[in-house]
Every structure is written in C-alpha cells, then in structure tokens.
Structure 1
Amino acid sequence: MDQLTLDVPNVTTFGPGVFRLLPRLRRLRMLSAIQSLDEEEFELCPDLREVLFHAKLQKIRPGTFRHNKALSYLDLVGNNLTHLPDGLIAGNPLLETLSLTENGIRTISAGAFRNASNLQQLILSRNNLRTLEEGVLDDAELLTYFHASANEITSLPPAIFAKTMLLIEIDLHLNNLTSLPKDIFAHTTNLKELRLGDNQLKFLEPELFRHNQRLITLELSGNALETIHGDVFSGLQSLQYLYLADNRLATVPAEVFKPIAGLLQLFLSGNLLQELPGDALAGCSQLESFFVNNNQLKSLPGRLFTNNTKLSSVSLEDNSLRGVPVELFTGTPSLKQMWLGRNPWDCTSCEVAAMSAWLTSHDIDIGDVVPQCSGPGPQPGRDIRQVTSTHCLKDSGQ
C-alpha cells in the first residue's frame, strides 16, 4: 500500500508501530484527535512523500520526520501547535511545501527551518505569532510563497527577506505591523504580490518599493496611513493593482501615482480626501477602474481623467459632491460604469444638468444606488438623470 487515508476523528492515540507495516507508504492523509507523534513513528516509511495530518497535536519534535528523506509536502493545518523547534525540518532536504495554518503557534526558533534548501511554500497564517526571528528564513533560499497573515506580528527584522530573493508572494495582512524597515524589500526583486492590508501602518518610507520592479499587486488597505510620500511608489512600473482603501489619507501628492504607468485599478475608498490634484492620474494612461467612494470630496478637477482613455469604471459614491465639471468626462470613451449615489447633488446647477445629459446619452451604468437631487429647489429626491437644462438656474461657480 502506497496511499492511506484515515478519517477517524475520535482516535486519540496510535498503537505501537502502527506504520511499521507500511514500508511502501508514499501518501498519508489523516483526520484524527491524535495529540502526539512518536519520534520513530514513520521510521520505516522511507518513501513517504506527502503527509496531511489534521489532528490535535500539541507539539512536534524535530526528529519526527527525519527518516523521511523523500518528504516533499507536509500539511499540519488545524492542530494545536504552539512552538516550532530548532531543526524542525532539518532532515527533509526535499521538502517543498510546509503548511502550518490554524494552529496556536506563538514562537518559532531561529533554526526551525534550518536546511530548508528546497522549501518553496511556507504558510504560517492564522496563528498567534508576534514576531519573527532574524535569520529564520535564511536557509530557505528557494522560497517563493510566504504567508503569515492573521497573526499578531508587530514588527519585522530589517533583513528577514535578505536571503529569500526568489519570493513571488508575501502575505502579511491582518497583523499588527506599525512600520516597515526602509530596505526590507531590497532583495525581493522577483516579488509580484505583496499584501500588507489590515495592519496599523501609519507611515511608509520614501522609495520603500524601489527594488520591486516586477510587483503587480500591492495591498495597503485597512491601515492607518495619514500621509504618503510623493516617491513612495517609485520603481513600481509593473504595478497593476494598488489598494489604499480604508486609511486616513486627507491628501495625496500630485506626483505619487506618476511612476505607476501600467496601473489598471486604483482603490482610494474610505479615506478622508476632500480634493484631488488635477494631474493625480495623469501618468496612469492604462487605468481602467478608479474607486474614490466613501471620502469627503467636495469637488473634482475638470482635467482629472484627461489621460485615462481606457477608464471604464469610476465610483464617486458617498462623498460631498454637489456637481462636477462638464469637462470631467471629456476623453473617457471607454467609461461604462459610474457610481454617483449618496452625494448632495445640486440639481439647480448647470453642471448637474450637463452630467445628466451625458449619463443618458452614453447609457452609463450608475449601479444600485440612484443618485438623487438634494436642495435647494423643489427637486429633492429626484433621479439626477431626469434633470435637464430647463432646470438649470446657475453655474456651479456662481
């Protein structure tokens, strides 16, 4: 037998030598209530390659899998581990994937991943980690995916990724990070996806991502960013998706998005923005979606979308807009969706009348929330698409 699947949720212990009769075992999948494994448990299973062991393990000894030199996949998700000891996988030179999600891991020895020369995926999400030791990843030079989301990590060593230069994806969202060392990503030049959302970041170092020229997705939503430096995104010429929603940004520098020429989607929802620079999006000629809903915008510059000919979706919902310049829509031939609801539209304004005409003539999808007129005038609650130039009493600037 080379494969064994056991679904025995009530089994709490193994009989002695239970796996000694399976010398050809290559794949083991087990769901049980086992709390511990003997160090010699898999001694006579030299060909064991894949282990999925969902149980109630309280601890894992460094030598548990030392006889299984062929082991390439180890899944210990959903156990009760609290500590990863030194030399945990030192005897498994072919191990490629180690998944430890949903344990109670609080600490990891600096040498836990020693000799992890072939490790490519390390998943530590949904544990209780507060920190990572300097050098803990140094032996994992082939690591491409590092996930440590949903922990309690407050800080990271400056050189934590210094040796993992092949990393493609780093996921650290849902932690308690308050800052990031200046050169923490200096060596991760192959990085394509970086998730730092739902932390407590208040500030980002200038040119923090300057070495990450292949980065495609940058997630920074749900932090406490109040300001961002004008060159914080320098070097990100491959970036396509930028998430800055649900921060505390009151302004954005006019030049901050200019280095991101290939940007496709920009999320600024849920901030404190009252205005946007007229050329804020001038460098983003490939932009397709722009979300700036749930802010405090009172006006928009007429030239905001001048260079965004591929723009197809814009969300302006939940702001304080009473009108927008007529020229805002010039040069947006691809625009199909524009969400405008929950703004105090002044339907006596010629700007709103012009916008109404444009919305209906271009058959724009306005979403589920109908934009309505507010006061003054006799039209509160009226769908702004019903407003015509005959209702226009004044220009917005008068």
Structure 2
Amino acid sequence: MQAVECVVIGAGVVGLACARALAQAGREVVILERETAIGTGISARNSEVIHAGLYYPPGSLKARLCVEGRQALYQYCAEHGVAHARCGKLLVATKPEQTEALRQIGARAAANGVADLVELDRAQIRELEPALDAHAALLSPSTGIVDSHGLMLALLGDAERHGAMLALASPVLGGRRDGNGIVLRVGGEDEMEIRARWVINAAGLDAVALGHTIGGAAPEALPKAWFARGVYFTLNGKAPFSRLIYPIPEPGGLGVHLTLDLGGQAKFGPDVEWIEKPDYSVDPGRAERFYTAIRAWWPQLEDGRLSPGYAGVRPKIAGPGMPDADFRIDGPAQHGVAGLIHLFGIESPGLTSALAIAQHVVAILADRQAA
C-alpha cells in the first residue's frame, strides 16, 4: 500500500490552492482528481468574478476569507502573470425604496473591512455608465475578473514545483480510518489503496457524498447537500458597460447581473433554481425572465440580444427557504476524525477565497501537529 502525508481530493481551484499551500509548507502532497483534466466542475462553470466582500455576515468565514483571499489573489495574479482585471462593479438601486438596502450593504461591507466603496447618485451613475438607469449605486473598485483556468494552471505549476503530484482519472471509491491514518480506495485503470496522514476533501459538488463515503464521522456531523443551478445568457454584440452591474440581492442569490470576461463578452445571470442533482442544461425559454430583470436597469436592451450561455451548479448546504450557510471547513475538532478536513459549501466566493481557504487548511494541520 502506498503511503503519503497529504491527499487532496479534487483538482478545482480550491483543491489546487490547498495542494500548493501544503506543498509550499513542506508537506508531501498527492492530488486525486476523478476527471481526466483539472478544473472541470465548479471551477469551469462560474462567472470568474473576484468579489470584494460586500454581502457576507461580519465575522463569518465567507466574509473573512473573501477579503483576505481577494487581496492575496490580486497579488498572486500580478506576480504569476495570470490574466485579470480590476474592472470594478456597480451595485445599483433601481428604485428609491431600495436605497435603504443599499445602505445596509454598504455598512456590512465596511464591517467586513471593505473600505473603498463610493456612493453615487443618478447623475454620477450616468456619468460613469450612460446606459445604466439607476436611482443610486455603490461603486466597488476592488471587484474584478480573472482567467480561472489560467489561475488553476499557475496553482498546479507551483504545487508541482514544490513536489506535489497530480493523479487524474483517480476517483475515490471509499475510505476508512486505521491506526496509521486514513486509507482511501482509489479507482482508475488499476484500483489501489493509499494511506494518508491527512486527507483534504475539496470535492466541490461531491464533498458531502464523499464525506459519507470516506466515513469515520457520525452521519449527523455532515451537512445535507443541496444543488442550485444558475443559468447564464450571453449578449450578442458589445455591451455598453465597462464595469460589472449588480442589482440589489434577492432571496437565494445576487439577482440577474452583468459580468464581463477578459475578452469583453457580456454574460447575464444567474437565474437560480433548485435541482435534485447536477444538471447543466440551459432552457432557451428562460430568456424572457432575463429580459424583464435586465431592463429594470438597462431599459434599452433590444429583443433578440440574448442567447443561451451556460449553467453552473452550486454545492449548497442550506436548502430552499433557509438562511444562507457559511463555508464549513470541518477538521478533527468538528467531526472527531483525526487527519480529515472537509470543505463543505464552498460556493461563491470560493474562487476569490481560494488562497485564504488554503492557508486556513494549512493552519489546521500546523495546530494539530503542535498539539
């Protein structure tokens, strides 16, 4: 049986960030990925936004790791030549009665350490974005966009330079705790077992199911998995906006907003729906809902400008009608299984927070070793 110090399950942006941080800390690391390429799950189907940290409850992991991760991510991209742009975003109140919600978001952002928001009135909004119709807005200069695949390649390169090894087409089929660590049964061309001192479950959509598969923790220590599909439509032709445009958040998400990729392509979404299992289909008939939502702040949007884009699925750990859940980074202190760290509910702002999540994982290992 092969033995290794650390196994990271999942080669998305968060798993690769964890593998890099562990390898840089001198740990022996193997990354297990069930697919034949890195980043084919959540990391391949997101809006690639670098979030500032406006919305999350002060003191939550999402708030802290988003702000820390955003700062680290901009620095990392600059140092490693990862394509990105600090384009900024406008969070808009389309009606006077939304002004109080805008103020509350600003206060929450300030409590999270976001100190660069700028309040704008209608005239100032029109000066920045003439096509935008809004009563008031918050300008977030720290919001940006990033090439997520380029980021993952850079993280993998760093991890491998520090000795980490990537095994593709290597699904984890089961696991058990024994006296010398956690034994994982790994599929692929030749099924095998690996004993690891530490296992980091960064499996994204499959993290909760994998938690049950690995075992060791009481079932009640693991959350229930929920799946929320976000559908995106793309704009035909050039958008008359240079920044991201977000409406006031609505229950279950941030509303239908405008994001831009590094090539200038405009995307609108997500239109969120709860689903039983991951499904990436896009119904063209949903376009009418998009036109209605977008015209609340871009009334000049013409018919026929939207085309079905793509869908992404979030690994939620709170279901319909429930309050949004925080990230869960569950180590031995939470579930009682030595050597096991679960990353549950790592949805948005997971991409922004990836480097900070990785440092949090490294700190858990260091604390347990020091104990």
Q: Select the structure that is richer in helix.
A: 2
Instruction: Return the index of the structure with the highest Cα Rg.
Output: 1
Q: Which structure shows the bigger proportion of residues in strand conformation?
A: 2
Q: Which has the higher contact order (CA 8 A, sep 6+)?
A: 2
Which TM class, normalised by the smaller chain length?
Answer: under 0.3
TM-score, normalised by the number of residues in structure 2: 0.17
- TM-score normalised by L of structure 1: 0.16
